[in-house]
């Protein structure tokens, strides 16, 4: 029987969830964790200087434990400090084995369950005087608003060769792949005119954008690729032909060739919409015109089944007489950037459910099960 203490795990999880830590406001949680891990004897506890890039009120938090098994490789574990809105004033409810919020906020299991699990594992190792591998903890900021903390992390700051992000739904699963994602921004510039007196003098940016959107392939494009237009902004009044509209979206794919082909398809549709208007109406006019950008949001994650994190976690699971299922994810996480840095990183399912909603929940038994796996990974 592994010495994971469910009551202590419950205490730390509840405490963490009730510390406000919105994106760009993670400093209270970071300070709490710095004090906690210093008291637990961490060799190093420090923040990086990523806040100048992220706009957070603190940097990414790095913690090192040297362990007492110098013969084995160091491992890093990653969680994010921030919680998606509504996240202020969380009050945790527990009914039997399941944690909920009071119903007007998210719970914050995404990703404070991961942090609580790591705290419990460390205390269990220290109290039992158990030999364990050296490890590092990387707690990032601003994950929920674009993985900004991980994107701003300097990979040379870490000693570990591989690691794990504790940041997925489900239990007994390992995420080995996640899509790359590019943003889609199209700004249409038309000409304003009075909609009642001289509508023929205007060029409706909203109409042009609508024509383009109807030609785009959206939703699930194939088993690896999705595309979406998420926001449309523009116009000033009902009696003015709108001279500006902006649409924003994204394209994700596990296949980089398909992703680039989809971007090019979007680009051609947008530009052809403008060209067709000019051909029909005024080929020499500078209006309408369009500004396009497709910024990378996060890189592709694609782990081999023979990579260090997969082999190590499978070995730990086998010693617990468990089997883990390797899966692909539909969204990005900090692990996308760690992998792009040359640090193989798998994502572990920790049991959180209904994330990004006020119905978010997690079972204590699932957190305990994940803690047992990580405890075993550090003591193999």
Catalytic residues: 82, 143
What's the residue count for the chain? Answer: 380
Concatenated DSSP letters of 316-360? HHHHTT---EEEE-SS--HHHHHHHTT--EEEEEEEEBSTTSTT-
Both structure tokens of 253: 């794919």
Residues 6+ apart with CB under 8 A from 272: none
* Whether 153 contacts 178, CB under 8 Å: no
Task: Report the distance separating Cα 115 and Cα 120, nearest Å.
Answer: 9
User: Helix or strand or coil: residue 61?
Assistant: strand
Alpha helices in the chain (DSSP H): 6-17, 27-39, 51-54, 109-127, 148-152, 205-215, 256-280, 308-319, 334-340, 364-379
What whole-number distance in Å separates Cα of residue 110 and Cα of residue 95?
A: 19
3-state secondary structure of 365: helix
Q: How many CB atoms lie within 10 A of CB 281?
A: 11
């Amino acid at each position: 029987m592994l010495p994971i203490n469910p009551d202590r795990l419950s205490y730390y999880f509840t405490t963490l969830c009730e510390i406000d830590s919105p994106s760009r406001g993670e400093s209270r949680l970071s300070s709490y964790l710095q004090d906690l891990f210093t008291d637990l004897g961490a060799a190093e506890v420090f923040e990086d200087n990523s806040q100048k890039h992220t706009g957070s009120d603190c940097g990414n938090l790095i913690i090192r434990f040297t362990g007492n098994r110098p013969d084995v490789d160091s491992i890093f574990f990653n969680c994010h400090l921030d919680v998606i809105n509504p996240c202020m004033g969380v009050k945790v409810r527990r009914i039997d084995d399941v944690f909920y919020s009071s119903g007007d906020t998210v719970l914050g299991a995404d990703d404070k369950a991961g942090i609580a699990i790591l705290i419990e594992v460390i205390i269990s190792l220290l109290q039992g005087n158990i030999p364990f591998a050296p490890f590092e903890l990387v707690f990032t900021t601003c994950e929920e608003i674009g993985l900004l903390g991980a994107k701003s992390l300097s990979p040379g700051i870490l000693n570990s060769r591989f690691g794990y992000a504790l940041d997925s739904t489900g239990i007994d699963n390992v995420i080995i792949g996640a899509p790359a994602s590019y943003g889609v921004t199209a700004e249409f510039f038309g000409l304003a005119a009075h909609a009642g007196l001289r509508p023929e003098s205007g060029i409706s940016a909203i109409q042009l954008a609508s024509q383009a959107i109807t030609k785009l392939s959206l939703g699930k494009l194939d088993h690896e690729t999705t595309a979406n237009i998420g926001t449309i902004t523009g116009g000033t009044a009902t009696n003015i032909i709108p001279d500006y509209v902006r649409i924003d979206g994204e394209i994700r794919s596990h296949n980089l060739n398909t992703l680039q082909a989809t971007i090019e398809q979007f680009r051609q549709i947008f530009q052809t919409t403008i060209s067709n208007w000019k051909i029909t109406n005024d080929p020499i006019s500078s209006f309408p015109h369009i500004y396009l950008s497709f910024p990378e949001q996060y890189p592709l994650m694609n782990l081999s089944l023979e990579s260090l994190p997969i082999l190590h976690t499978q070995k730990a699971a086998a010693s617990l007489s468990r089997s883990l299922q390797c899966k692909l994810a539909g969204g990005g996480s900090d692990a996308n950037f760690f992998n792009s840095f040359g640090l193989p990183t798998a994502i572990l399912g920790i049991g959180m459910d209904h994330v990004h909603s006020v119905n978010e929940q997690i079972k204590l038994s699932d957190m305990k099960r994940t803690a047992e796996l990580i405890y075993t990974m550090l003591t193999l």
